[in-house]
């Protein structure tokens, strides 16, 4: 089973298009007849019905009126709005600053969530990050997205969000790829502090952290990180957008994928041994190269 970050949006558009097609057919209209009645080119009707192009609000209104299905209008408009809000383009959202990116990673969502299931193959999950790690991540994103610098406010928001998640009333179940332990943000000493912090968080009774060793035989295929918030939604991030999955069937798929990833991970002493081996390797490098190694970012 393979997950595609954009599959939720595309599938939802296809399903909306199929509903609109059914309305057209129920009204006894061809695509060309509907296009003529609504002032559109018939190829646009085809693209909408096949999910290749999202319908606008005016498209849906004209469609329903022409097909004599005004009673279906409120539901179809709500569906279309939810589909498009599931895909949030970073560059557009970042104009207001980084602390407002991703509605699923908001304080309100963290407050409402009881169980977080997290898969991160390459980076440390936000709830485990130190301030130094966060600031290094932000340095890249501010430049990449050309966003206004609101680093202090973003760090404060993330700290509040983490405090909400790391409480006994919540449960955090995380599966990390071993590469997440090696991915260094900042200096070698800051990286060591990040891994020590991870070890401390792992001692909390309501936190479970599994690590998939780099040399273990792999079966599950999940190349991007994803977060599952209870049974309500899944959040994914690409270099250009945040994607929110809310369809129950697709959330179940991600949950099934997560269980497969958990089965490939190691826990407890074996996981701590992997983390400590990375810390020891970094310490040896720092001793060999001296304090100057900490100057290189």
The pLDDT assigned to 69 comes to: 95
Q: Calculate what percentage of the chain has a pLDDT beyond 70.
A: 85
The pLDDT assigned to 132 comes to: 95
The pLDDT assigned to 81 comes to: 74
Q: What is the mean pLDDT of residues 239-244?
A: 77
Domains in the chain (CATH in brackets) are: 7-85 (1.10.260.40), 89-295 (3.30.870)
The pLDDT assigned to 295 comes to: 42
Helix (H) or strand (E) holding 137: helix 131-145
Residue 58 has pLDDT above 60, yes or no: yes
pLDDT in tens, 61-114: 999 999 999 999 988 987 887 776 666 665 555 565 665 555 668 899 999 999
The pLDDT assigned to 212 comes to: 97
Q: Which residues contact 112 (CB under 8 A, 6 or more apart)?
A: none
Q: What is the mean pLDDT of residues 162-171?
A: 97
Q: Which residues contact 91 (CB under 8 A, 6 or more apart)?
A: 145, 146, 240
DSSP 155: H
pLDDT in tens, 111-135: 999 999 999 999 999 999 999 999 9
pLDDT in tens, 177-191: 999 999 998 899 999
Cα 137 to Cα 131: distance, rounded to the nearest angstrom: 10
The pLDDT assigned to 297 comes to: 39
DSSP 122: S
């Amino acid at each position: 089973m393979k997950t595609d970050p954009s599959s939720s949006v595309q599938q939802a558009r296809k399903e909306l298009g199929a509903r609109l097609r059914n309305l057209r057919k129920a009204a006894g209209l061809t695509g060309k007849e509907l296009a003529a009645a609504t002032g559109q080119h018939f190829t646009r009707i085809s693209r909408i019905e096949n999910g290749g192009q999202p319908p606008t609000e005016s498209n849906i209104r004209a469609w329903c009126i022409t097909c004599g299905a005004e009673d279906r209008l409120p539901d179809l408009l709500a569906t279309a709005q939810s589909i498009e809000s599931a895909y949030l383009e970073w560059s557009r959202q970042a104009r207001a600053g980084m602390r407002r990116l991703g509605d699923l990673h908001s304080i309100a969502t963290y407050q409402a969530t009881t169980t977080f299931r997290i898969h991160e193959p390459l980076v440390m999950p936000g709830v485990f990050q130190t301030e130094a790690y966060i600031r290094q991540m932000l340095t890249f994103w501010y430049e990449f997205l050309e966003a206004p610098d609101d680093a202090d406010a973003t760090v404060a928001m993330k700290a509040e969000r983490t405090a909400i998640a790391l409480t006994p009333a919540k449960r955090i179940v995380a599966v990390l790829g071993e590469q997440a332990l090696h991915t260094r943000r900042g200096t070698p000493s800051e990286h060591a502090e990040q891994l020590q912090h991870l070890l401390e968080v792992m001692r909390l009774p309501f936190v479970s952290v599994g690590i998939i060793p780099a040399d273990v035989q792999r079966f599950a295929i999940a190349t991007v990180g994803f977060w599952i918030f209870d049974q309500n939604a899944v959040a994914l991030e690409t270099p250009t957008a945040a994607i929110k999955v809310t369809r129950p069937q697709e959330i179940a798929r991600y949950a099934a994928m997560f269980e497969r990833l958990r089965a490939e991970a190691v826990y407890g002493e074996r996981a701590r041994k992997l983390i400590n081996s990375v810390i020891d390797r970094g310490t040896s490098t720092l001793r060999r190269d001296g304090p100057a190694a900490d100057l290189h970012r």
